[in-house]
Structure 1
Amino acid sequence: MKQVGMTIWLTGLSGAGKTTIGSEVVNRLTTQGYKVEFLDGDIVRTKLTKGLGFSKADRDENIRRIGFVSHLLTKHDVIVVVAAISPYLEVRQEVRQLIGNFMEVYINASLDTCEQRDVKGLYKKARAGEITSFTGVTDPYEPPLNPDVECWTDRESIDESVQKVLQKFWDFQNVND
């Protein structure tokens, strides 16, 4: 099986389901023999972007660094799955241009749903003023205008969302085979 490198970029609010969907996409593609790397925003922040804060400039730099690593892997025919809030349209577009083979997946869930799923208690802290510049509460999230795939994780099952992502992935691979 020949694969064409690409980046599957999952964006959405904290708690929307990016890591859950991304992990399952990676699992299914790996099981099928694809070379896949998973860059989860929470893990990347502890290694590659350690020391960056949450100002707009730092968030943009975080996404640029993830984008650069994704670009390197993609050009070597690796499938890269990124799960990162990446709240700003402009820097997502910049990363799309850098990478080229890029599939934007909007992991969409209502703010209420994300707050209910908040296992880390971050929304509660943001609402109490303990966290400033929290995306979706005190800092904006700019949803994609025309995502390649939109998963409504408060309305569909994990499997339904994963299948939508995989179908678009296979369409891309078949076109570029």
Structure 2
Amino acid sequence: MIQQNLVWHPPAITKVDRQKLNKHKSCALWFTGFSGSGKSTLANQLDCELYSLGVKSYVLDGDNVRKGLNNDLGFSPEDRVENIRRVGELAKLFVDSGQIVITAFISPYRKDRNQVRSNFEQEEFMEIFIECPLDVCVSRDPKGLYQKARNNEIRDFTGIDSPYEPPVNPDLTINTEEYTVKDAVQTIVTHLRNKGIIDI
């Protein structure tokens, strides 16, 4: 009923206007993968590289967003769906503002990632699979979360007692067991150039 009373207000400054001002196109780079795969590390190093090139970018990190916008959500399947829905809407606002937004979320369900993709124009959403074997992620365990999950201190933890559905056809796959962070960043920057998002 509430939706019936809402009227979309078109912006005076369009996404294309903002892209022209920024001198590059905008898009969402959606990092998905297990906890410990390297999503946040890679997202922030990519952000630094884009900043050095004069590209407007911003990182939405899973833990950071859950400390604020999504602090009312847990890790049940239903809450995970809502978490990704909200982040998808937030990412779209960043793309509309003419920026490259880098999201670092486990986002374990294909259906949710595909739903987010459907909200973007074709070239404005890139699903990037941060691939790393689960046993390697467990051995890294940078936040001690896998150990807590195995001790039953955390429930519904992806890879332990909650599933992860890897992308079937990601736009890009980065295997962090094989790539250095520097090489991974350069691979993504090259991909952005090849797609015509940036020309720097």
| Deviant stretches of 4+, over 3 Å | none
Percentage of matched positions with identical amino acids? 42
1:49-103 deviation digits (Å, cap 9, x = unpaired): 0110001110111111111011011022111010111000001001011123101
CA RMSD of aligned residues (A): 1.5
1:90-131 deviation digits (Å, cap 9, x = unpaired): 010010111231011100111111011112211011112221
1:74 to 88, 95, 104: 95
CA distance in 2, matches of 1:157, 1:147: 20
Please tell me the residue identity of whatever aligns with 1:106: F
Matched, 1:120 2:165: no
Matched with 1:140 is: 163
Please tell me the residue identity of whatever aligns with 2:46: V
Larger Rg: 2
Matched with 1:37 is: 58
Q: TM-score, normalised by structure 1?
A: 0.95
- For the Cα contact (< 8 Å) 2:131–2:174, is it kept in 1? yes
CA distance in 2, matches of 1:152, 1:131: 27
2:106 to 57, 71, 85: 85
CA distance in 1, matches of 2:97, 2:196: 15
User: How many equivalent pairs are there?
Assistant: 176
CA distance in 2, matches of 1:120, 1:174: 34
CA distance in 2, matches of 1:175, 1:129: 46
Gaps of 5+ in 2: 1-21
Q: Secondary structure of the equivalent of 1:7?
A: strand
- For the Cα contact (< 8 Å) 1:149–1:164, is it kept in 2? no
Q: Which moved more, 1:37-46 or 1:120-129?
A: 120-129
Deviation, structure 1 residue 2 = 1.6
Matched, 1:64 2:73: no
1:105-162 deviation digits (Å, cap 9, x = unpaired): 1001111110111122110111122211100110000000011111110122111211
2:152 to 120, 125, 129: 129
Q: Secondary structure of the equivalent of 2:164?
A: coil
Matched with 1:48 is: 69
Gaps of 5+ in 1: none
- For the Cα contact (< 8 Å) 2:129–2:172, is it kept in 1? yes
CA distance in 1, matches of 2:198, 2:67: 36
Q: TM-score, normalised by structure 2?
A: 0.84
Q: Secondary structure of the equivalent of 1:173?
A: coil
